[in-house]
Structure 1
Amino acid sequence: MQPADNPQSEDISGNGTLDYQGYADAGCQTELTMDDIEKMEDVLRQNTTELGDLRTKALDTQFNQESFEKNEEKTKFYTGLPNFLVLIQMFELCEPYITCGPMSVLSKFEQLVLVLLRLRLNLPLKDLAFRFKISVPTASRVWHKIIDILHARLEFQIEWPERHVLQATMPMGFRQSFGRRVAVIIDCFEVFIERPSNLLAQAQTWSNYKHHHIVKFLIGIAPQGYVTYISCAWGGRVSDKQITIESGLLKNLLPGDVVLADRGFNIGDIVGFYCASVQIPAFTKGRKQLSAYEVAETRKIANLRIHVERVIGLVRRKYQILQSRAMPIENMATKSGEALALMDKIGVICCVLSNLSESVVPLE
């Protein structure tokens, strides 16, 4: 068979090599047009963008530090904190006390987030176990361990302010009504609990007003709108007056201080022992109507006292564990060697976390 006639590959050098001079000006041949190439580049860019979006969505379903750092809305929704900076500062405060062994499934940050999720959304432990891909006993151990750490490391944030600090930042509404004398606004809020099996506990926690077994917290806020006092949990049968007297809140009062309270806090005589006074709305009991002066004073007190109810509402909305319809009764028990029950620690932590957000009280 004769070789194909191809003059460009003909041996013309005389030494057995081929002369490829004929290929010097040849270009790369393709059937694709420039429009086709541009379309392929567009598809490549689109795929790259979609991969980035998928990665972002994948991070949204995770609870590691990176996923919160890149999503402020996620931080607000799952923790109730205003931004990631506050979250990471709180984590750095607690991180040295959180253990994370070589066999740990969760990082230290994820352990903290697990607890914040439960406080924020009142999620059951089984739900948390599914979300974090751990067992229910592991979720329970993390919950109890981190709650203790949060309480120990954050409790200092609930502090009764010095008088000069209160007076220097007193909101205008309080100054116009009471000068700079208001030290605290007090009220109680309730948390529903399971029905205790013990008959005495049933009697102590039953509330005829709520028709349910409850525990009550006494809360005090500064005129600036931040929680400055939170009591331990008391049985629902105890009166607001008794909690106020026995909780120790009144020991913080100084001569000349004014306490704002609701009608249920008939504590004027006790507050008087501290050379302070209490302002409560006037009663109509036994009378047909209030005088014009009493109406004006009642309106003035009510307009300022409402701030404590706003703060309570904020804490309960932010941390829905306080809205539980049946808080486990074991959370009310105090463990051996500890002074506080789990419920007491939860109340403190929720108030601290709420204090880290912007106040609901306008300063002007």
Structure 2
Amino acid sequence: MKLKAEQHRCAEAILDMQQTAESPDLSLVTVENPELQLPAENPQPEDFSVNETFTYPGCADAGCQTELTMDDIEKMEDVLRQNTAELVDLRSKALDTQFSQEAFEKNEDKTKFYTGLPNFLVLIQIFELCEPYITSGPMSLLSKFEQFILVLLRLRLNLPLKDLAFRFNISLSTASRVWHKVIDILHKRLEFLIEWPERHVLQATMPLSFRQAFGCKVAVIVDCFEVFIERPSNLLAQAQTWSNYKHHHTVKFLIGVAPQGYVTYISSAWGGRVSDKQITIESGLLKNLLPGDIVLADRGFNIGDNLGFYCASLQTPAFTKGRKQLSAYEVAEIRKIANLRIHVERVIDLVRRKYQILQSRAMPIENMSTKPGETHALIDKIGVICCALSNLSESVVPLE
């Protein structure tokens, strides 16, 4: 009997040990957060928090070990900082060599050199006038601003289209398409900058030198300038464009400059053979005159009779007309007119220096033709745009 009782106790002890191994005593559990202690009876899964740490007897935490020391980590951080600084520097240099808006915004000298405009603020205002009409999609190689700059670069520096294609990393056909498309937009959007001023505006801002010589009556100073072109293949065109003065095939523009030094009129391009008188009469400039206006011009503008129809008068330097010499009064008048008329030559020089496309040795003959459905040839648009942009610069005539 004793043996059976002892075997029974051993069996119960073995069963207790198995139950203990399968269900650990919760009294051994420790919780880092004392507020999250488990209930003593019937614990539920939702009572556990993700921040709880359970420790079992005979267990230890294991972590990742690394052989990197603090010195190694600091060296790696230094290299990372160095690489980041180099990346920023390279990105900045890349912007400087590109024709992006950011590159011009950070460099006023670049704006003046590549566009002829006085500063970036003026440049961006002109761009905003034209931007809604310039197209650029996800597949476009150039942004709207880059297309705009491409055209200004050609006007400013007279660069060939192939040169522009290399500079902007595009094909020659793309450069040509951008040039013709954006030049039309600039012509339409900027022609308002060339406007014949009202008489009261002219009189209120008349420079002192003009007031002393002619009061407030001078309305415009007129002159012509010529642009060299290629020799046309058509014989009639050759005759019409040959300039006896320049001894070259040219086109001629009539320009009108206000006493304040701004372009107020620019004609379409005429063949270089046409006389100054003919282009003045037929261009429509005289329709802007009011009774009492004075027009200053050179000797070649023999338009005094034509101005009489508008009750205006012409002031040109006197010439001898077969006489041996001029009178003292005539010499004084010549000097007075010449000192004022020279301002139109200074304006023409300013326009041609700023936009060297007008100094071309031989502008392509295709620029002289008019597209179907249009009234202006490409050369006409170029003349208007260059004069309009020049009006945004400081005047060459001092107010006082």
TM-score scaled by structure 2? 0.79
CA distance in 1: counterparts of 2:395 and 2:83, whole angstroms: 45
SS of residue in 2 equivalent to 1:264: coil
Structure 2 CA distance for partners of 1:58 and 1:244, relative to 1, 3 Å: same
How far 1:55 moved relative to its partner?
3.8
CA distance in 2: counterparts of 1:319 and 1:53, whole angstroms: 33
CA distance in 1: counterparts of 2:343 and 2:385, whole angstroms: 20
2:232 matches 1:196: yes
> Identity of counterpart residues, as a percentage?
85
How far 1:345 moved relative to its partner?
0.3
Specify the alignment match of 1:21 in structure 2: none
Q: Which of 170, 181, 188 is 2:217 aligned to?
A: 181
2:266 matches 1:249: no
Q: Map of 1:244-323 to 2, 5 A cutoff?
A: 244-323=280-359
Q: Which of 124, 148, 151 is 1:88 aligned to?
A: 124
Specify the alignment match of 2:12 in structure 1: none
SS of residue in 2 equivalent to 1:92: helix
Structure 2 CA distance for partners of 1:291 and 1:342, relative to 1, 3 Å: same
CA distance in 2: counterparts of 1:284 and 1:212, whole angstroms: 30
2:137 matches 1:101: yes
2:369 matches 1:333: yes
Specify the alignment match of 2:32 in structure 1: none
User: Residues 82-105 of structure 1: CA distance to partner in whole angstroms, max 9, x if unpaired?
Assistant: 011111111111111111122110
Structure 2 CA distance for partners of 1:56 and 1:213, relative to 1, 3 Å: same
**What is the RMSD computed on CA atoms of the aligned residues?**
2.1
Specify the alignment match of 2:198 in structure 1: 162
Q: Map of 1:119-130 to 2, 5 A cutoff?
A: 119-130=155-166
How far 1:57 moved relative to its partner?
3.1
2:237 matches 1:209: no
2:168 matches 1:137: no
Structure 2 counterpart of 1:75, which letter? T
SS of residue in 2 equivalent to 1:351: helix
Specify the alignment match of 2:29 in structure 1: none
Specify the alignment match of 2:52 in structure 1: none
When Rg is computed on C-alpha atoms for both structures, the one with the higher figure is 2
Structure 2 CA distance for partners of 1:280 and 1:61, relative to 1, 3 Å: same
Give ranges in structure 2 of 5+ residues lacking alignment: 1-57, 61-68
Structure 2 CA distance for partners of 1:294 and 1:64, relative to 1, 3 Å: same
Paired residues, what number?
332
CA distance in 2: counterparts of 1:184 and 1:264, whole angstroms: 16
How far 1:292 moved relative to its partner?
0.4
User: Residues 299-328 of structure 1: CA distance to partner in whole angstroms, max 9, x if unpaired?
Assistant: 000000000000000000000000000000
SS of residue in 1 equivalent to 2:132: helix
CA distance in 2: counterparts of 1:115 and 1:225, whole angstroms: 26
TM-score scaled by structure 1? 0.87
Structure 2 counterpart of 1:262, which letter? D
How far 1:176 moved relative to its partner?
0.4
